[in-house]
């Protein structure tokens, strides 16, 4: 998996340190707050595209990543079966469908992941601004990365309650005068 | 540890985190719990509460009024100078921690946390407030 980080088109910029920060934060957050062990099984650099990333979700959350070295966005997406089990574990309730009582769990998971990335990123010389996540709820929708991206990457994580995915785009922050 | 009858105010803009905290409190037999979605709503509840709250557990980063702003406002009011206030955050930034400490926070817990960590932090808050 490590060999796949850093590859892409000539315009891509995939910072392996940031990728690892995000992966480690995801494992920590789901492992601790939701008692869900996470194993990343697939890492897929993507080419620039204007369509969807090819994975279908029932709920997702997206947050901006703006830092001293790079800018981009991070998304986490779940099929409903995985999401409901994760939400049930976090809140220790029993939800059978995604609704307003549990949907913001996706946002809070991403909120905590980004907070852990900010916290641990400082040890590697990265500073990120805090941001507010959005949550998207639907039925089998795809996420499409925005325009003007450089690096696109999709990670699949497997857990004992099903898979989820992280998708993020990043590009090197333009220096002053660019 | 806090008496089970303690009136608790749980403040977080994420419903899912409020539920997680509420259920952690219920594990300890504490069921007299009121929720607020931001610091401003929490302040209104604190200001008009009768009987008063015995514990506040608040997120830091929230719209309208942050947890730090709520803490500062509470400590500036003689009624709440000694109210146990615990802050919860994913940030952990040293500036936040220092500001919270200077503002008189009773305890601090970093997300993510397990129910066990939550209980230990709450015990620490109780000990600091009531046992010197």
φ and ψ at residue B89, rounded to 5 degrees: -155, 155
pLDDT digits (tens, 9 = 90+) for B85-120: 999 988 767 777 888 888 899 999 999 999 999 999
The confidence score (pLDDT) of residue A177 equals 55
Query: How many angstroms separate the CA of residue A145 from the nearest CA in chain B?
Result: 26
Indicate yes or no: CB of B112 within 8 angstroms of CB of A32. Answer: yes
Asked if pLDDT for residue A148 goes beyond 80, the answer is: no
ipTM summary value: 0.91
In chain A, residues with a C-beta closer than 8 Å to the C-beta of B16 are 87, 90-91, 102, 104-105, 108
Cis amide bond preceding B77, omega within 30? no
pTM of the model: 0.91
Q: What are phi and psi of A164, to 5 degrees?
A: -145, 170
pLDDT tens readout for residues A19-63: 999 999 999 999 999 999 999 999 988 765 667 778 999 999 999
Higher-confidence residue: B24 or B97?
Answer: B24
pLDDT at residue A92 tops 70: yes
Strand (E) or helix (H) holding A81 = helix A80-91
* A100 CA: distance to closest CA in chain B (Å): 9
Distance separating alpha carbons of residues B11 and A138, to the nearest angstrom: 28
Q: Is A53 on the interface with B (CB under 8 A)?
A: no
Sequence-separated (6 or more) residues with CB below 8 Å from residue B98: none
Helix axes A80-91, B15-27, angle to 10 degrees: 40
Confidence of residue A172 (pLDDT cuts 50, 70, 90): confident
DSSP helix/strand/coil, A60: strand
Report which DSSP code applies to A150: S
Helix B15-27, helix B115-130: angle, nearest 10: 70
A93: DSSP letter: S
Check residues B63 and A50 and name the one with the higher pLDDT. B63
Min Cα separation B38/chain A (Å): 14
Look over chain A and give the mean of its residue pLDDT values, rounded to a whole number: 87
């Amino acid at each position: 998996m490590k060999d796949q980080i850093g590859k892409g088109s000539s315009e891509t910029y995939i910072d392996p340190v940031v990728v690892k920060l995000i992966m480690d934060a995801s494992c920590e957050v789901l492992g601790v707050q939701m008692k869900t062990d996470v194993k990343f099984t697939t890492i897929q650099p993507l080419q620039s595209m204007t369509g969807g990333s090819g994975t279908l979700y029932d709920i997702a959350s997206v947050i901006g990543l703006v830092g001293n070295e790079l800018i981009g966005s991070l998304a986490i997406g779940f099929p409903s079966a995985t999401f409901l089990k994760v939400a049930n574990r976090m809140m220790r309730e029993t939800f059978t469908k995604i609704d307003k009582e549990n949907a913001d769990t996706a946002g809070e998971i991403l909120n905590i992941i980004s907070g852990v990335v900010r916290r641990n990123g400082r040890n590697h010389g990265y500073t990120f601004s805090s941001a507010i996540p959005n949550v998207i709820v639907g039925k089998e929708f795809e996420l499409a990365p925005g325009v003007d991206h450089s690096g696109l990457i999709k990670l699949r994580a497997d857990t004992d309650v099903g898979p989820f995915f992280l998708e993020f785009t990043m590009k090197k922050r333009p220096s002053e005068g660019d | 540890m806090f008496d089970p009858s303690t009136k608790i105010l749980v403040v977080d803009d994420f419903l899912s985190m409020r539920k997680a905290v509420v259920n952690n409190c219920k594990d300890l037999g504490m069921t007299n719990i009121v929720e607020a979605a931001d610091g401003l709503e929490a302040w209104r509840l604190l200001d008009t509460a009768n009987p008063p709250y015995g514990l506040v557990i608040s997120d830091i980063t929230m719209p309208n009024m942050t947890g730090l702003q709520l803490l500062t406002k509470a400590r500036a009011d003689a009624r709440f100078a000694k109210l146990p206030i615990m802050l919860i955050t994913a940030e952990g930034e040293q500036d936040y921690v220092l500001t919270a400490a200077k503002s008189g926070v009773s305890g601090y817990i970093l997300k993510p946390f397990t129910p066990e960590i939550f209980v230990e932090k709450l015990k620490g808050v109780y000990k600091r407030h009531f046992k010197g």
